[in-house]
Structure 1
Amino acid sequence: MSGLLAITLNARLRPLDRGEIFEDPLQEILDVEAPGSQVCGGGTQMAANGEPSCCDIDVELHGDQEAGLRLVVHTLESIGAPKGSTARLGDREPVSFGVAEGIGLYLNGTDLPEEVYATSDVNELISALQSRLADRGRIFSYWQGPTETALYFYGQSAATIRDLIQPVLAEHPLAQNHRLLSITPRG
C-alpha cells in the first residue's frame, strides 16, 4: 500500500538548505526503516518580497501508512522541525508537529557606514553567533534581500536564542540597526 504524505515545514529555508537539513536525513531513515518510501518532491513558498516563508516536502510512503507518518514526524522533530509544521496523509486532516522555535535576525544592508560593509565579514558574525548559541540553537538558512539580509536561527527556545545572541549583536559592526523577529508560533 502506498500514499502521499504532504509536509509543510514552518521553516524559512532556501531549497538547498531544505534538502541538506531535512530531506537528505529523512531519506536515509526511510531507506532503513520504510524501504520503498521516498522523498519525491519539495518546494519553498516565498513572500511577495522573495523571502522564504515556509517549505514543503512530499513523501511517497510504502507499507503501513500510519507507521510511516509517525516515522516521518519523529524523524523531522529529531532534526529540529519548527513548531507550526504539519503533515497530511492523503486527504485526511493535517497533523501538527514541531519542536523548535525560530528567530530571524535581519541585518541592515544599506544604511550603515560604508567602512562597516568594506571591513566586516558576515561569516565572522555568524561564527560568533553560533559560538554563543553552542548547542542551544543553530542557523538553518539565510536570505539576502535588496535592503537587508536575514539569518534564520532555530532551537528549543526563541527567547533563549534572543538572550544568548544579544551580546554579540551589541558589539558587532554589521549588527547595527538590526531587527529580531520571532518566526515560529509558541506552543
Structure 2
Amino acid sequence: MDLTLRLNARLQPIHQFQFEDVIHTLLTKKGIGETSGGGVAQDPEGETTYCEIEIHLDDTKPNNIIQLLEILSKTGIPKGSTLWSADPEFNIEVGTLEGLAYYFNNTELPYSIYETCDVNYALEQMEKAIEGIGKLYSYWKGRAYTALYFYGHSFFEMKQKIEAFNATYPLCQKSRIEQIA
C-alpha cells in the first residue's frame, strides 16, 4: 500500500529528509515498510508551506496501519498533517504538536542592531525559554524575514515563554509570531 504523509510543517529540504529518514528507520526496523522519497512545497518567496513523505507499507493489514500511526505519533507530527492514499476513503488526520513561527525583521531595524546583535544568540535564548515545551525543527531566511519554526505541545506556552526575551533583545523589534499548526 502506497501512502503519502503530508506534514503541516515548515521544514527545509535537509530537515524534511532527516524526518523521512527517522520514519524509514522505524518502518524497516519493524519490517512493515519503508519511505520512498518526498519533498517540500514552497511559496513564491521560497518559504516552505508543507512537506510530503512517500511511504510504502508491505501490506494493508490493520496492524501495519496501527504500527505506522504509532511511529508517526512518536516522531512528533504537527497538527493538521494527513496520511492519505489513492483511495479517496483513506484519509487520516495525524499530529498532536502545535507550531510557532518566529519571524525576525531583516530590513526595517537600524543597521547598528544588525551589526551588534546575533540571531544565533536569540535562538539559544528562545530554545532555553521553551525547553521541555517545544523545540526548533527548522528555519528559513528570506529577503524581508528570517523565520524560526518551533513545534511543541502548546503554541500559547511557547509564545508566552519567548515573549519575555522578545521584549528585551533589540534584534526582536518589529518581529512577529504566528501559529502554524
Choose which of 15, 18, 32 in structure 1 pairs with 2:16. 18
C-alpha offsets along residues 10-49 of structure 1, whole Å, 9 cap, x if unaligned? 11111111122x21211121121125x2110111011222
In structure 2, the partner of 1:182 is 179
Partner residue, 1:162:
159
Contact 1:34–1:63 under 8 Å retained in 2:
no
Q: Deviations over 1:147-187 (max 9, x none)?
A: 11111111011001101111111111211110111111xxx
Equivalence map 1:25-64=2 (5 Å) = 25-35=22-32, 37-64=33-60
Native 8 Å contact 1:69 1:89 kept in 2: no
CA distance in 1, matches of 2:98, 2:166: 19
TM-superposed CA distance for 1:97, in Å, is 1.0
> Are residues 1:118 and 2:115 paired?
yes
> In 2, distance between residues paired with 1:66 and 1:45?
30
> Alpha-carbon deviation of 1:64?
4.0
What is the CA deviation profile of residues 46-104 of structure 1, one whole-angstrom value per residue up to 9, with x for unaligned ones?
12222111110001111344333322222222221011110013413310010000011
* Change in 2 beyond 3 A, CA 1:109/1:65: farther
Do residues 75 (structure 1) and 68 (structure 2) align? Answer: no
Q: Which amino acid in structure 2 is aligned with residue 18 of structure 1?
A: Q
- Higher mean alpha-carbon deviation, 9-18 vs 60-69, is at 60-69
Deviations 1:104-162 (A, max 9, x none): 11100011111111122111111110001111001111111111111111101100110
Tell me which amino acid in the other structure corresponds to 1:56. Answer: E
Structure-2 separation of matches of 1:102 and 1:180: 10
Counterpart of 2:77 in 1: which secondary structure? coil
- Partner residue, 1:104: 101
TM-score (normalised: structure 1)? 0.91
Distance in 1 of aligned mates of 2:47 and 2:61: 34
Give me the whole-angstrom Cα distance separating, in 1, the residues matched to 2:104 and 2:61.
Answer: 43
- Describe the shift of the 1:65–1:116 C-alpha distance in structure 2 as closer, same or farther (beyond 3 A): farther
In 1, Cα distance between equivalents of 2:116 and 2:56: 49
**What percent identity do the matched residue pairs reach?**
33
